[in-house]
Amino acid sequence: MQWELTKLSNEHANVIRATLPLVGEHIEEITKLFYKTMFSNHPDLIKNLFNRGNQKQGAQQKALAASVATFASMLVNDDAPLPESMLSRIGHKHATVGVTEDQYQIVHDNLFAAIVQVLGADVVTKDVAEAWDRVFWIMGRLLIKFEKDLYAEAGVEPGKVFRQVKVVACDTLAEGVTHFTIESTEASKPLPGHKPGQYISVRAHLPDGAGQLRQYSLTDAGKQSHGRLTFAVQAVKAHDQLPAGEVSNWLLENVKQGSELEISLPFGDLVLDEQSNSPVVLISAGIGATPMISMLSRLALDKSEREVVVFHADSSAAADAFASQTKHLASQLPNCRFHTWYAQGESNETTTVGDRLDLTKETLPSNAQYYLCGSTAFLQACSKDLESLSVPASHTHYELFTPNEWLLK
């Protein structure tokens, strides 16, 4: 998919350059007010579309602020590259929850009302409003086009991504981690395959009437699945004054074999490049192993001869939900090695206990593609390691648990 960027006029660019520092200074205040106003005007959005947990933590507000600021800065800097990875990540997230073109107008109207309220009508003059309106719709139209292409590729009308499924198996992988196998409730409409590394949205119909959505990475190879998909859910416990995960805990407490669920079609841009023969390095922590298992499963299914390295960090062997599956899949590949890092336990030839995963101390293949998934702190450390090793940014691909991409920059 090609990004066709529309440039700002010189007049609008000058206005953005002049006002970007002021908007940046107040961007978090603006986005907080924006979401508060939008949810007041459209309560169904926070009930059935937006992640209430991320809203409580402020993650979504900061993600929006970072996205707008990044895009505006790029538009007024001729040397800045188009943030394609950021736009792609947003577009796939939008597709998996069924965002449609008309909802961009809702965002626009409430966002600009917040900008005027925070900065004041004397600051947001007609010229300023026009320039920032232009920024919004350049970014918005890029995403609308991208998302329409994703829907077309999936063979559905825009936003029509949800399917009713039944759970055919529930398997406990570790304490607080359950693996679900699902299939369509309509035999004539089997679930599609997917690219290794993609995810689905799962809608939980909670006791308060909300239909909250969460994304879960698919763990199967993505083909020859006979219309079945698999995903794993880890219970999110309350910690550091943050609430427990309402969807993850609801799923683990209520969903059994035979239960029905509402899910989206698969989307996501952290996918294995199957056209390449370059080495693959899969790096994960905790439940971040899920997209890596999908990639490893596809490599094993295809009997790939590529060099594959699998690194995983976890609290202990008992908590490592995919330890046995990783070992099994790695044994099926002729050129694969794996190593784990645990906080507790005993070290052996494939396990290190006590030390963190430090990529600068590891032997890594040249010209490899790196795929990472884990907590923000884990990704920050790994990104720093790869940067110090002069790994090109184009060779590094990652998935995040929450909308915290701004923390990696």
* Contact indicator for 375, 401 with CB cutoff of 8 Å: yes
Query: Residue 147 and residue 158: Cα distance in Å, rounded?
Result: 8
Q: What pLDDT is recorded for position 57?
A: 66
Assess whether pLDDT exceeds 80 at residue 257.
yes
Using alpha carbons, list the distances in angstroms from residue 385 to 315, 329, 394, 396, 404.
21, 27, 15, 12, 19
pLDDT digit string, tens, across residues 44-66: 988 888 887 777 766 677 778 78
Q: What pLDDT is recorded for position 401?
A: 62
Q: What is the DSSP letter of 81?
A: P
Q: Give the catalytic positions in this structure.
A: 104, 147
Q: What is the DSSP letter of 306?
A: S
Is-above-0.75 flag for pTM?
Answer: yes
Cβ neighbour number for residue 314 with a 10 Å cutoff: 25
Question: Comparing 291 with 83, which gets the higher pLDDT?
Answer: 291
pLDDT digit string, tens, across residues 129-186: 999 999 999 999 999 999 999 999 999 999 999 999 999 999 999 999 999 999 999 9
* Contact indicator for 236, 248 with CB cutoff of 8 Å: yes
Assess whether pLDDT exceeds 60 at residue 407.
no
CB within 8 A of 257, min separation 6: which ones?
Answer: 167, 168, 169, 170
Which domains does the chain possess?
10-154 (1.10.490.10), 162-264 (2.40.30.10), 280-407 (3.40.50.80)
Assess whether pLDDT exceeds 80 at residue 406.
no
